């Protein structure tokens, strides 16, 4: 099996060098872009297995790069790890909303970042479990096509959002803890429980009115309701 190719889009030269060195040590093949347009071009031409994407970049910022990668059929499923100095929850929600799969704020532990890279690559390489379709309350999940629609209108979800929705809809009415959802959708990396809340917030927004089906269970986590929410 060939080395996994990882595109680093980072304008800070010293950080790009640190990431390149450590990724090479782990057996990956890093490719570096120091500017937004260059990063987008290299993503489209090299088709990396994963993109480490800084949010604040000259030329085109990370959010716009993320949007364009998700909008293209060739790059839509490439895992994106967003790297930024911004730590506000609103920034995280925006990042997840445009298609980021994970979000790491500076300063960070290189070991933690490498573990997240490993998890994202493993998830991306997992074969689809089956071709079943899950459908409830106007929401339809096609697992083989990795497509979600609400009232026949297609939605663009990140892989993490897709897994969260699938987990919840597979067992409607069950209250999942945040740890349950982290295990099924985020993977075996150490993250704050608040990370799940950020993903759920983004998912609800994308689902529109149907997002009310994802109900907060106080003191526990979340559940999917097939009946009308009692609000």
> What tens digit of pLDDT does each residue of 131-141 get?
478 888 889 99
Nearest alpha carbon to residue 82 among 115, 44, 116, 49: 116
Domain 5-125 has CATH 3.65.10.10: no
pLDDT for res 209:
92
User: What was the pLDDT predicted at 104?
Assistant: 85
CA–CA separation, 55 vs 46, rounded Å?
Answer: 20
46 neighbors 7 (Cβ within 8 angstroms): yes
Tell me, what's the pLDDT at 190? 47
> Rounded mean pLDDT of 181-203?
73
How confident is the model at residue 184, as a pLDDT? 73
The pLDDT mean for the chain works out to 85
CA 166/CA 176 separation, integer angstroms: 12
∠ Cα 114 116 122 (to 5°): 105
Structure tokens at 99: 């298609």
Helix (H, G, I), strand (E, B) or coil at 135: strand
Residue pLDDT, tens place only, 97-133: 777 888 888 888 899 899 989 988 988 876 655 547 8
Give the pLDDT of residue 131. 45
Give residue-wise pLDDT tens across range 47-89.
999 999 998 899 899 999 998 998 888 898 899 998 887 666 6
What is the predicted pLDDT for the residue at 229? 46
What DSSP designation does 183 have? Answer: I
Assign 6 to helix, strand or coil. strand
Residues of the chain with CATH 3.40.50.2300: 5-125
Q: Which pLDDT belongs to residue 194? A: 75
**β-strand partners of 40:** none
197 Cβ contact list (under 8 Å, min separation 6) = 178
CATH 1.10.940.10 fits 133-224, yes or no: no
């Amino acid at each position: 099996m060939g080395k996994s190719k990882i595109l680093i889009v980072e304008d800070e030269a010293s950080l790009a060098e640190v990431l390149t060195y450590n990724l090479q040590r782990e057996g990956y093949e890093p490719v570096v872009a120091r500017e937004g347009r260059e990063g987008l071009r290299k993503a489209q031409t090299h088709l990396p297995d994963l993109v480490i994407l800084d949010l604040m970049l000259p030329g085109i910022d990370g959010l716009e790069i993320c949007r364009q990668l998700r909008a293209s059929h060739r790059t839509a499923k490439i895992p994106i790890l967003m790297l930024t100095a911004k730590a506000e929850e609103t920034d995280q929600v925006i990042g997840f909303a445009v298609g980021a799969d994970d979000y790491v704020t500076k300063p960070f532990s290189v070991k933690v970042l490498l573990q997240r890279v490993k998890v994202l690559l493993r998830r991306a390489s997992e074969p689809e479990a089956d071709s079943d379709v899950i459908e409830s309350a106007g929401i339809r999940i096609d697992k083989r096509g990795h497509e979600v629609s609400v009232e026949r209108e297609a939605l663009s979800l990140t892989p993490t959002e897709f897994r969260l929705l699938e987990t919840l809809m597979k067992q409607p009415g069950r209250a999942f803890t945040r740890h349950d959802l982290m295990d099924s959708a985020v993977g075996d990396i150490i993250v704050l429980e608040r990370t799940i809340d950020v993903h759920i917030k983004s998912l609800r927004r994308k689902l529109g009115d149907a997002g009310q089906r994802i109900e907060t269970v106080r003191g526990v986590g979340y559940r999917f309701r097939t009946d009308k929410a009692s609000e």
